[in-house]
Amino acid sequence: MTDISGWKDKILFTPGPLTTSKTVKTAMLRDLGSRDFEFIKIIKDIRVKLLEAGQVEGKGYEAIIMQGSGTFSIEAVLSSAIPPDGINFIIINGAYGKRIAKICDILKIKTLIYECPENTTPDLKEIDSVLKKNNDITTVSVIHCETTTGIINPIKEIGEIVSKYKKTYFVDAMSSFGAVPADLDECRIDFLVSSANKCIEGVPGFGFILAKKQSLLKTKGMARTLTLDIYDQWEGLEKNGQFRFTPPTHSLIAFHQALMELEQEGGVESRGARYKLNYQTLIAGMRKMGFKEYLTPEDQGYIITSFRYPLNSNFNFENFYEKLNKLDYVIYPGKVSNADCFRIGNIGRIFPTDVKALLAAIHNVLDEMEVSLL
Ligand SMILES: Cc1ncc(COP(=O)(O)O)c(C=O)c1O
């Protein structure tokens, strides 16, 4: 038998999979049948709690859980909710916006792209003007927290414009949902996607879609795939509470526990407040050591922060990463396309004390590498 008594978790300062609580991990030590009454009750509970987290319980929205990572749920929405002759207007300021465009290319969905620099939020006037000029646009897609940099896009303001032109509005809120409060109805969102292993602090295994029911009903019969059909998936869950195909039972049980822990923490606002504290602790410490953030503070969200590589010839990211990893701190490589950066996530079951411990480790590693920033 494997002896797990000596196992020690590393602390993940990543955007997911991320550090989870011991109770969330322990919840997975159960085998439940996917058609078991208890499991069906768990699924029902999860779906209600997700709507609560999006502030739309009882407001004409539905929660659909989809097997796979978050991208599967994004692909599910794009391939189910955009009509064959539709046009997806994609607002891009990072790698995840580009991924939506790539999925559309593969699905042969026509797109219209508005790309702005990765360190700026999109210009609302430009969005309005594109929608005014292109009446054949059916859908508008945007990322909420573009995890490439950590920038937060103004989904409510964009939603007002999208609704003025009566288009379908899709938001990828993968790394923000559960920690950056947003009332989906107020933001005029038709479809929002996030996943288990982000701010709700569950383990990987599935994503979920929060859909305005009216918009969801229109997707009937439109899906390009069997497995990612959001209408059929929803109908199955509604009919008998079950999944059409094998669900990740253990990660769903863990997620149920994670949602209860979100409630115990005080809900989305309180979770956001803890992450904000993590973020403030992080940037204060990093700035003190001489690191510079990629974004200006006005655009920087509290989910994840991109730091520029220090201008010191002794600095080598792989080496830096490995040394921190040996000390049990996992940070994240950069994704910004035009600058050398690395990222540190503020989300997951981590607290300011963990961030302070990471900062001390970074200080020691820099000393060891003979990298002076000041
Ligand atoms: C904004 C955003 N979209 C999509 C994804 C992709 O999610 P997954 O890796 O679970 O497919 C991520 C992952 O971090 C993300 O941050």
pLDDT digits (tens, 9 = 90+) for 15-45: 989 999 999 999 999 999 999 999 999 999 9
Q: What is the number of the ligand 1 atom nearest to the C-alpha of 197?
A: 10
Minimum CA distance residue for ligand 1 atom 8:
70
Say if residues 281 and 355 touch (Cβ distance below 8 Å).
yes
pLDDT digits (tens, 9 = 90+) for 248-276: 999 999 999 999 999 999 999 999 999 99
* 328 and 191 share one domain: no
Decide whether any atom of ligand 1 lies within 6 Å of the 97 Cβ: no
Indicate which CATH number applies to the domain containing 313: 3.90.1150.10
Decide whether any atom of ligand 1 lies within 6 Å of the 172 Cβ: yes
Angle (deg, nearest 10), helices 70-81 and 95-107: 50
Mean pLDDT across the chain: 97
Q: Is it the case that residue 1 has pLDDT exceeding 80?
A: no
Indicate which CATH number applies to the domain containing 126: 3.40.640.10
**What spacing in Å lies between the alpha carbon of 100 and ligand 1's midpoint?**
11
* 53 and 165 share one domain: yes
pLDDT confidence tier of residue 8, bands split at 50, 70 and 90: confident
Q: Is it the case that residue 209 has pLDDT exceeding 80?
A: yes
Decide whether any atom of ligand 1 lies within 6 Å of the 143 Cβ: yes
Residue 3, pLDDT score: 78
**What spacing in Å lies between the alpha carbon of 174 and ligand 1's midpoint?**
6
Minimum CA distance residue for ligand 1 atom 2:
174
Residue 184, pLDDT score: 98
The domain total for the chain is 2
* 292 and 260 share one domain: no
* 329 and 259 share one domain: no
Minimum CA distance residue for ligand 1 atom 10:
70
Q: Distances from the Cα of 173 to the Cαs of 48, 341, 350, in angstroms?
A: 18, 23, 21
Rounded to an integer, the average pLDDT of 286-307 is 96
Residue 4, pLDDT score: 75
CA distance 203 to 196: 6
15 lies in some domain: no
Rounded to an integer, the average pLDDT of 224-246 is 97
Residue 6, pLDDT score: 76
Say if residues 205 and 252 touch (Cβ distance below 8 Å).
yes
Decide whether any atom of ligand 1 lies within 6 Å of the 15 Cβ: yes
Burial of 311 (0-12, 13-18, 19+ CB in 10 A): exposed
Minimum CA distance residue for ligand 1 atom 7:
70
Side chain identity at residue 373, one-letter code: L
Mutate to test the pocket of ligand 1, among 77, 175, 303 (most ligand atoms within 8 A of CB): 175
* 242 and 284 share one domain: no
Q: What percent of the chain has pLDDT over 70?
A: 100
Angle (deg, nearest 10), helices 268-289 and 249-265: 80
Residue of 234, 207, 237 lying closest to 223 (CA atoms): 234
**Hey, which residues does 3 pair with through a beta bridge?**
none
pLDDT confidence tier of residue 67, bands split at 50, 70 and 90: very high
Residue 5, pLDDT score: 74
Rounded to an integer, the average pLDDT of 83-93 is 97
Containing structural domain, residue 65? 22-264
* 228 and 356 share one domain: no
* 245 and 287 share one domain: no
pLDDT confidence tier of residue 374, bands split at 50, 70 and 90: confident
pLDDT confidence tier of residue 2, bands split at 50, 70 and 90: confident
Rounded to an integer, the average pLDDT of 214-221 is 98
* 304 and 326 share one domain: yes
How long is the chain?
Answer: 374
Residue of 144, 159, 189 lying closest to 15 (CA atoms): 144
* 230 and 347 share one domain: no
Decide whether any atom of ligand 1 lies within 6 Å of the 17 Cβ: no
**What spacing in Å lies between the alpha carbon of 179 and ligand 1's midpoint?**
15
